Chain A
Amino acid sequence: MTPERLRAALRGVPDPEWLDAAIERVAADPATVPRFFAAAARRCGRGPLPDAPGWTADEAARALLLAALPADHAGHAADVYRHGDAAEKLAVLRALPLLPIGAECEPLLHDAIRTNDTRLIAAALGPYSRHLDADAWRQAVLKCVFTGVPLAVVHDLDARADAGLAAMLGGFAVERRAAGREVPADAAALLDRLTAAGSPTVGPAAGPAASPVADPAVPSDARKA
């Protein structure tokens, strides 16, 4: 997804002039972003955008407001996240991969993953989650399983899933079966894929703590073992 595609997908919102003016103002005066960011949903709507699958109008409008900033995208994103309601926080998380930033906003992912709001957890596992180290990423995937967030939302799931995740999912499945409880189908399927792919290349005693901390600059395949 790109800001240009979101802009095109927002052509049909109830008040496109408002959005155009807001984007212009934010570009000229970044201090105005909190007010426009808060008002975006009631001006642009909250429905899904047919031309931007997976995006709602409010998320897209808020992402465009952040993308329109002239500088310090990370600082403004962190500020509107900190002071945002749940929908604003969600929009910041969705916008992160579209902004010209590095790993500076990774702490926002940790905040979102600590919540029990499944919308925020899901959004934290989008493309920007490449900045999470392997331990945090595995914990986040398990949290999805525990809270019912479908694993389909996890970016790069199969590429990043490693022996450490397989061990955690295996332990989870053992606990669930011992308790007579169900293992969610997507978690069971992932565990099957991981075990079918061959036994973990790390030793049998190796849990997540023994796995190397991922370097975001290293291609995900290189982190698998």
Chain B
Amino acid sequence: MRIFDPHIHMTSRTTDDYERMAAAGVRAVVEPAFWLGQPRTSPDSFADYFDAIIGWEPFRASQFGVRHHATIALNPKEANDPRCRPVLDLLPRYLEKDGVVAVGEIGYDSMTPAEDEAFAAQLALAVDHGLPAMVHTPHRDKARGVERSLAVVAESGIDPCRVVLDHLNEVTAGLVRDSGCWLGFSIYPDTKMSPPRMVELLRLYGTERMLVNSAADWGRSDPLLTRATGEAMLLAGFTADDVDRVLWRNPVEFYAQSGRLDLTGVDDADADAPGAAGGQPGAGGAGSAGGAASAGGTFAGNSILRGGS
């Protein structure tokens, strides 16, 4: 089972998680920029965070054979803090980076005028930079938040097939299904969505435009719930090809719209051994200073990061 987790906050996770994810078949992830739990007070700390998710985190992931991409945005919660609003001015430069495959997470938290403005401005940036958009839907007043999000998306002029509305559930999935946008579901230990409930939604709506993610972060969450959902699908009678579509081909199709998804060496459908991915693109020969860490954890033939001690 090859798995692409289209929404996971790896900066909050440990190397143990990377090991378990790789062993479970996770070969690619997208890390959306979001709230860190602790509120930030200046654009500079956002810049450092953005740099981390396009710099250090992809390197960390590569040590476990996992390909890492990111989405960049001012998240809806912090869009309400006037000290963070200048983050919008930082975005154009980040939205040109190779590893950035969408604008996100944008959308609503409390549906304030400040959120309206940041949401619309960032959808316009997505259009300008030729990127898809990842829209977080609010946890409070969700159904109204989803309706309002769809209205903002429609008004922006972005093609709905380039937008995913995330954290959907039984009540909100139908609204998005008819809009032409993609549907994202975050499988959580006991809140947002569960594997059995997800299987029921896949039965109801089919597998087209459906994205399943773990949205694992610094809260109670589990990066292996993508795999658990794939197994629940098989038990419920879905085919291995259905599982591959939902857990691999769908996220690939969605993010490939950026023109920047690079899955060289990790997308071989037949290689099912965890970490069986080949070397990183750009890996140089022995002794090359340009050599990248390969999936097997070697650097130009040497083991890397022996622990630094």
A127 to chain B, nearest CB (A): 10
A119–B302 CB distance below 8 A? no
Q: Judge whether A56 and B299 touch: CB under 8 Å.
A: no
Asked whether A58 is an interface residue with its Cβ less than 8 Å from the other chain, the reply is yes
> For the complex, is B35 an interface residue (Cβ under 8 Å from A)?
no
Q: Say if the beta carbon of A53 comes within 8 Å of chain B.
A: yes
B305 CB within 8 Å of chain A: yes
Does A152 count as interface, using CB distance less than 8 angstroms? yes
Specify the main secondary structure of chain B where it touches its partner: loop
Instruction: Kindly list the 7 A-B residue pairs having the minimum CB-CB distance in the complex, ordered from nearest.
Output: A46-B282, A38-B96, A46-B281, A85-B54, A152-B287, A54-B288, A122-B289
Contact status of A119 and B291, CB under 8 A, knowing A38-B97, A48-B285 = yes
Asked whether B55 lies within 8 Å of A86 as measured between CB atoms, the reply is yes
Whether the Cβ atoms of A47 and B282 lie closer than 8 Å is yes
Asked if A147 and B97 make an inter-chain contact with CB atoms under 8 angstroms apart, the answer reads no
Q: Is the CB of B55 within 8 A of A89?
A: yes
Q: Do B287 and A153 touch across chains, with their CB atoms under 8 A apart? A: yes
Q: A86 touching B281 by the CB < 8 A rule?
A: no
Q: Are A94 and B55 touching (Cβ within 8 A)? A: no
List the one stretch of A2-10, A110-118, A192-200 in contact with chain B.
Answer: A110-118
Query: Contact between B93 and A34 (Cβ–Cβ < 8 Å)?
Result: yes
Chain B interface, number of residues (Cβ within 8 angstroms): 37
Kindly report which residue of chain B lies nearest to residue A182, judged by CB atoms: B306
The docked-state distance in angstroms from the alpha carbon of A39 to that of B303 is: 31
A54-B290 CB under 8 A given contacts A87-B98, A117-B56? yes
A54 to B282, CA, bound (A): 10
Asked if A54 and B309 sit within 8 Å, CB to CB, the answer is: no
A54 to B292, Cβ gap below 8 A? no
Chain B residues with CB under 8 Å of A85's CB are 51, 54-55, 58, 97-99
Complex: how many Å from CA A153 to CA B304? 14
A93: chain B residues within 8 A (beta carbon): 289
1/0 contact string of B167-197 vs chain A (CB within 8 Å): 0000000000000000000000000000000
Is A125 located at the chain interface by the 8 A CB criterion?
yes
Chain A residues proximal to chain B, CB less than 8 Å: 34-35, 38-39, 41-42, 46-48, 53-56, 58-59, 83, 85-90, 93-94, 115-119, 122-123, 125-126, 146-150, 152-153, 184
- Residues on B lying within 8 angstroms of A by beta carbon are 51, 54-56, 58-59, 93, 96-99, 259-260, 262, 281-293, 299-306, 308-309
Taken together as a complex, chains A and B put the C-alpha atoms of A115 and B231 apart, in Å, by: 39
B51, B93, B286, B291 pick with most chain A CB within 10 angstroms = B291
**Distance (whole angstroms) from the CB of B103 to the closest CB of chain A:** 15
Contact at B287–A116, with CB atoms within 8 Å? Answer: no
**B290 and A117 within 8 A (CB):** no
**Interchain CB contact under 8 A, B287 and A148:** no
* Contact present for A39 and B96 (CB under 8 Å): yes
Q: With A54-B289, A54-B290 known to touch, is A118 a contact of B98 (CB < 8 Å)? A: no
User: Are B291 and A122 closer than 8 Å at their CB atoms?
Assistant: yes
Name which residue of chain B comes closest to A38, CB basis. Answer: B96
A residues less than 8 Å from B51 (CB atoms): 85
The residue on B at minimum CB distance from A115 is B56
Can you pick out 9 interface pairs between chain A and chain B where the beta carbons lie within 8 Å of each other? A48-B290, A54-B287, A58-B282, A117-B59, A119-B290, A123-B289, A126-B289, A150-B299, A153-B287
Task: Say whether B58 contacts A147, CB under 8 Å.
Answer: no
Which A residues are in CB contact (< 8 Å) with B304? 118, 147-148
Q: Are B96 and A56 neighbours in the complex by a CB distance under 8 Å?
A: no
How far does the Cβ of A90 sit from chain B's closest Cβ, in whole Å?
7
Contact, CB under 8 Å: A150 / B300: yes
Select A94's contact among B98, B289, B300, beta carbons within 8 Å.
Answer: B289
Q: A115-B56, A148-B302, A148-B306 are in contact. Are A47 and B281 (CB under 8 A)?
A: yes
B308 → A minimal CB distance (Å): 5
Tell whether, in the assembled complex, residue A54 and residue B305 are in contact, meaning their CB atoms are under 8 Å apart. no
By a CB distance below 8 angstroms, the chain B residues around A56 are: 282, 284, 290
CB distance from A132 to the nearest CB of B (A): 15
Chain A residue with the shortest CB-CB distance to B63: A118
Please name all residues of chain B whose beta carbon is closer than 8 Å to the beta carbon of A184 when the two chains form the complex.
302
B290 touches A94 (CB 8 A): yes
Residues of A within 8 A of B55 (CB): 85-86, 89, 117
Residues of chain B within 8 A of A89, CB atoms compared: 55
B305 contacts A118, CB within 8 Å?
A: yes
